[in-house]
Chain A
Amino acid sequence: MLERLVRDHRVVVCVGSGGVGKTTTAATIALWGALEGRRAVVLTIDPARRLANSLGITALGDEPLQVDPAVLAGAGRPAQGTLAAMMLDQKNAWDRLVARHAPSDEVRERILKNRFYLNLSQNFAGSHEYMAIEQLCLLCESDEYDLIVLDTPPTKRALDFFEAPERIRDFLDRKVVRWFVMPYLSQGWAAAKTLNRTVGFLFRKLEEATGVSALAEVSDFFSAMSGMFDAFTARTDVIHEILRSPSTAFVLVTGPEEQVLTEAEFFSERMQGMEMPLGGVVFNRVHEEMNVDSAAFRGGTVARVDEDEVRAALLDGGVPAAHASWLAANFVDYQLLARGEALRMEQFRGGLPRKLPFVTVPNFDTDLHDPAGLVRMHAYLFGPDTETDAPSARRSGGRRR
Chain B
Amino acid sequence: MLESLDGRRVLFVVGKGGVGKSTVATALAVSFAERGKGVLLAQMEPSRRLAELLGVTGEREGAVETLPGLHVLTVDGETALSEYLGLVLPVRRVQRMVVESKLYHHFVAAAPGLKELMTIGKIWYEEQLVVKGKPKWDVIVVDAPATGHVLQYLRMPSAAAEAFGPGLVRREAQKVTELLLDPVRTAVCPVTTAEEMPVNETTEMYQQLRERLHMPLGVLFVNRVHTAPLAPADVPAAPAGATALVTDVLRCAHEEAGWAAINRRYLDRLRETVPMPTVVLPFLFAEEFGLDEVRSLIASAEGA
Chain A residues at the B interface, C-beta cutoff of 8 Å: 17-20, 23, 46-50, 115-116, 119-120, 123-125, 154-157, 171, 173, 176, 179-180, 198-199, 202-203, 205-215, 217-218, 255, 257-260, 262-263, 266, 287, 290-293, 296, 310, 313-314, 317-320, 323, 326-328, 330-331, 333-337, 339-340, 343, 363-367, 369, 399, 401
Does A327 contact B89, Cβ atoms closer than 8 Å?
no
B170 neighbours in A (Cβ, 8 Å): 211
28 A-B pairs within 8 Å (CB atoms) are namely A49-B200, A156-B146, A171-B106, A176-B106, A202-B98, A202-B101, A206-B107, A209-B89, A214-B110, A214-B111, A214-B163, A258-B288, A259-B289, A263-B48, A287-B255, A290-B244, A296-B245, A318-B239, A319-B242, A319-B249, A323-B229, A326-B253, A328-B249, A333-B256, A339-B287, A365-B258, A367-B195, A401-B247
Contact partner, B17, options A19, A212, A364, Cβ 8 Å: A19
Does A210 contact B109, Cβ atoms closer than 8 Å?
no
A214 neighbours in B (Cβ, 8 Å): 110-112, 114, 163-164
Q: Do A292 and B286 contact each other (CB < 8 Å), given the known contacts A199-B103, A319-B250, A367-B196?
A: no
Does B167 contact A209, Cβ atoms closer than 8 Å?
yes
Which applies to chain B's interface (DSSP): helix, strand, loop or mixed? helix
Q: Do A337 and B285 contact each other (CB < 8 Å), given the known contacts A171-B109, A214-B111?
A: yes
Does A206 contact B18, Cβ atoms closer than 8 Å?
no
Whole-angstrom CA separation of A50 from B170 in the bound complex: 42
Interface centre among A291, A331, A363, by most chain B C-beta atoms within 10 angstroms, is A331
Interface centre among A119, A171, A317, A333, by most chain B C-beta atoms within 10 angstroms, is A317
B195 neighbours in A (Cβ, 8 Å): 367
Q: Do A262 and B249 contact each other (CB < 8 Å), given the known contacts A213-B163, A326-B228, A365-B255?
A: no
B164 neighbours in A (Cβ, 8 Å): 210-211, 213-214
Whole-angstrom CA separation of A198 from B100 in the bound complex: 12
Chain B residues at the A interface, C-beta cutoff of 8 Å: 16-19, 22-23, 45, 47-49, 52, 84-85, 88-89, 94, 97-98, 101-104, 106-107, 109-114, 116, 145-146, 152, 163-170, 193, 195-198, 200, 228-230, 232, 236, 239, 242-250, 252-259, 262, 285-289
Does A313 contact B163, Cβ atoms closer than 8 Å?
no
A123 neighbours in B (Cβ, 8 Å): 112-113, 116, 152
A290 neighbours in B (Cβ, 8 Å): 244-245, 248, 252
The 7 lowest CB-CB distance pairs between A and B, nearest first, are A19-B18, A18-B17, A365-B258, A340-B287, A211-B164, A211-B165, A333-B285
Write the chain A residue with the least CB distance to B156.
Answer: A123
Write the chain A residue with the least CB distance to B240.
Answer: A318
Write the chain B residue with the least CB distance to A297.
Answer: B245
CB distance from A383 to the nearest CB of B (A): 22
Does A319 contact B288, Cβ atoms closer than 8 Å?
no
CB distance from B194 to the nearest CB of A (A): 11
Whole-angstrom CA separation of A206 from B99 in the bound complex: 10
B107 neighbours in A (Cβ, 8 Å): 206, 215, 218
CB distance from A186 to the nearest CB of B (A): 18
Write the chain A residue with the least CB distance to B245.
Answer: A313
Contact partner, B168, options A48, A210, A260, Cβ 8 Å: A210
B110 neighbours in A (Cβ, 8 Å): 116, 120, 171, 214, 218
B104 neighbours in A (Cβ, 8 Å): 202, 206
Does B111 contact A314, Cβ atoms closer than 8 Å?
no
CB distance from A172 to the nearest CB of B (A): 10
Whole-angstrom CA separation of A364 from B255 in the bound complex: 7
B113 neighbours in A (Cβ, 8 Å): 119, 123
Whole-angstrom CA separation of A257 from B94 in the bound complex: 48
Does B196 contact A19, Cβ atoms closer than 8 Å?
no
B85 neighbours in A (Cβ, 8 Å): 209
Does B19 contact A323, Cβ atoms closer than 8 Å?
no
Does A266 contact B48, Cβ atoms closer than 8 Å?
yes
